[in-house]
Structures are given as C-alpha cells and as structure tokens.
Structure 1
Amino acid sequence: MPEIVPGRRISGRVAGLFDALHGHFGTRAADELELSFEGIRGDYHAGLTRKSGGREPWYPRGTEMRNERQLSLVAPDELAAIAGGLGIAEVKPEWIGANMNIEGIPLFSMLPPRTLLFFEGGVTLRVDGQNAPCKIAGTALAENAGVADVAGTALDFVRVSKRLRGLVAWVEKPGTVKAGEKVEAKIPEQWIWSSGFIGGE
C-alpha cells in the first residue's frame, strides 16, 4: 500500500474578489461575488457545462462537458513570484482572469484536487486542480503590464507560472462571498498511486 498522508485544515483570508460580468476573459474588482451552482452569476466562465478546448485533447474541440472551471483562484505570494520571474513590478489578479485572491495558505497552487474551501459566509468551493498557464492569460498580462515584447512575455508566463498559476474550482454550496472573509481549506487524505503496488510496471 502507498503511504497515506493525513488530511488537515488550513485557514486563510479573501484578499480580493473579481468578476468578468462584461463578457471578457479579464476580470475587475468586486466587493462580493454572488455564487450559484453555475458559478458567478453572469460571469464569463459561469455555467454548469462548458466547451472543451486545448486542455482536453481526448475530446473534439468544442465538445460540451461538465464545467469544473467555474472560478479561478490565485494567491498574492505566488503572483509576486511570477512577477519576479518575469522581471516586472507586479501581476494583478484581474490581468490573468482570476476571481479570488486568497492569502495565508502556503503553497496555494499545490492544494490537491478535492480540497474543500469553506468560506465564512457559508459558501463552499471544491478544488478541481491546478490552473495550467496559457498564452491567452500571458498575453493579457503582458499587455496590462506594458512590456515591450508582448509575445515573448506571454511565452515566458507559461514557463514561469507553472505550478504558481493558482487553482480552478466549482461551487459545491452556493451563496455570497465578501472581500475580507475568512476561508478554511479542508485538505483530503493524499497518496501516490502506482501500478507497482499491484505487481505492474
């Protein structure tokens, strides 16, 4: 049997909220987010389902599938690390389409799938996994940062922000999240599965 790492709970805080109610990838600051089972009401990424893209090569592009990417979550320390790696002053959450900026939880992007995020106001989000960086977000970041080489910075973003880009999550229990709320991450038991445990290669 593999080693089983016990679950644990870690507390953080909502440092910022952002929505994309204007029909565009980029987000803008908000005091609160109203969440339904479809995500943020009226948001660019809201919906029970979505169309598959480059992240799902096992489906023809545009296949309707479950939307597990209703919200994008980032962390201030990881955004600062990305900025440092790119040699720019800052990376704002709204430049890369983030909906929540969560502070106080170390190694935020490494939280495993099935982690539950319990918000003080009653909302629960379930983490699907890491948000793999892409050139679309990199281009938006480069344009907002005012760099000379937009295309080069977009490519550098994909490399520099790997495992620092944050998480995607979906709404398990709807309600309203307000800026400044406390949030508790309930991290599940973890283990590494290997076919070697059952005699395979």
Structure 2
Amino acid sequence: MANGFLPDAVATIRPAQKVRGRVARVLEAAGDTFVTEPVESLTFSFDGIEGDIHAGKTRKSGGREPWYPRGTEMRNERQVSILSVEELSEIAQRMEIDRLEPEWLGGNLVFEGLPRLSMIPPRTRLVFENGAVLRIDGQNAPCRVAGRSIAANFPDREGLDLMFPKVAARLRGLVVWVEKPGVVTAGEGVTAFVPEQWIYEG
C-alpha cells in the first residue's frame, strides 16, 4: 500500500478545477424538428427546456443505445444540447464553409470562453450566474442527420452531410440534463465545476 491508503498502482488523479465562460446565445426547438430558433431566455425545469422537442424526464432509445430494443423508455440524459462558438468556427473551417450556425445542429446553449468545450468530462456541473445548474452527461456525437441540416444551407456543395460526422468528432458539443431549474439568458456567466479525473484501466 502506498502511504497506507492507496494501492501502488493507483491511477494518476487530476485535481478538480473551475473554468469560467459566458452564454453567447440561447435557442429552442419548439416545433416538431430538432432545428432551433433564437429566444430571449430559456426556462429549465426538471423536464428540460419547457416546450422544447427534447424535453421530458424520459425518452425513447434509438440508434445511440444499441443495448436496448429501439423505442425502450429510458432516462432522458439528453435534455439540452450545448455548443461552443470556438468549436463551431473550427468545424466550419474544416468543412470549408463560411459559417456554421448552432440552429442547424439543434443547439440550445452556445458558450464562449470555455476551452475545448466538447472535452469537458461527464459529471461536470455547469453553474449559471442566475442560479440554474446543468450536469454534463457526455459528448454529442456528430451524425448525418445534422450533416443534412447543414447541407440544406449550402445547396451548391455536395457531400457536406457525409463530411460533417468525419470532421466534427470531439467538437460537436455536449448533452446535459437539468440538476437545478432556473432561467438562462444570453450574456450570463457560467462556471464549469470539473470534478477529479482519472483513467480507469481495469
């Protein structure tokens, strides 16, 4: 035993940290499509964003959950989609398009100033200046559905739908769920409370 408490082969522990950023935009998918529209503020309840297509305490499993039969009711850990100003710009450069709007990807919150947003680990708490708290579930994997949404805005370019999943890996943002309800507005500060991290090697 090392120091009387931990095994000699314990993983390297990276300490917890706080990282501060800002809410650049807030958007809602109030219709029957995942594409979002800008709003003045978002009201979060334990169901997610009131009126949003992804709201609900539970959801039906799909292609992302091959361990369940499709349509199985499960906990909704994908209530809110978060994107980054900086990462959207990087994806646009990789796709050689002049812009990539968060609406096309179904983003609800767009942050700026949080470095490498998509790499912020699960369990991180996102605490907003006005009191709402969201909890990160994990990365939002890029898919061809979002690629088709992008391609629809560039009719003169072919293959953008297939290109997006390839170039947007680890840059497509995060999915989160509501830990503490509240209202979030553009311009509001947000602090990411990143927990201790380690690599589990079995």
Q: TM-score range by the shorter chain?
A: over 0.9
Q: Which residue of 1 aligns with 2:6?
A: none
Moved segments of 4+, more than 6 Å: none
TM-score normalised over the length of structure 1: 0.94
Higher helix share: 1
The one of 27, 34, 46 equivalent to 2:36 is 27
Q: What is the identity, as a one-letter code, of the residue corresponding to 1:131?
A: N
Q: Which residue of 1 aligns with 2:136?
A: 127
Rg (Cα) greater in structure: 2
Tell me the alpha carbon deviations over residues 99-142 of structure 1, each in whole angstroms, 9 at most, x when there is no partner.
Answer: 00000010100000000000011000000000000111110011
Q: Which residue of 1 aligns with 2:169?
A: 162
TM-score normalised over the length of structure 2: 0.94
Q: Which residue of 1 aligns with 2:55?
A: 46
Report the number of matched residues: 193
Is 1:71 the counterpart of 2:72 in the alignment? no
Give the distance between the partners of 1:10 and 1:116, measured in 2 at CA: 11
What SS does the corresponding residue of 2:153 show, helix, strand or coil?
helix
Tell me the alpha carbon deviations over residues 36-69 of structure 1, each in whole angstroms, 9 at most, x when there is no partner.
Answer: 0000001000000001011100001111100000
Q: Matched residues, percent identical?
A: 54
The one of 176, 183, 198 equivalent to 1:191 is 198
Aligned residues: CA RMSD: 0.8
Give the distance between the partners of 1:83 and 1:55, measured in 2 at CA: 25
Is 1:171 the counterpart of 2:191 in the alignment? no
Is 1:81 the counterpart of 2:90 in the alignment? yes
Q: How far 1:146 moved relative to its partner?
A: 3.6
Which sections of structure 2, spanning at least 5 residues, go unmatched? 1-9
The one of 109, 112, 118 equivalent to 1:109 is 118
Which sections of structure 1, spanning at least 5 residues, go unmatched? 196-201
Q: Which residue of 1 aligns with 2:145?
A: 136
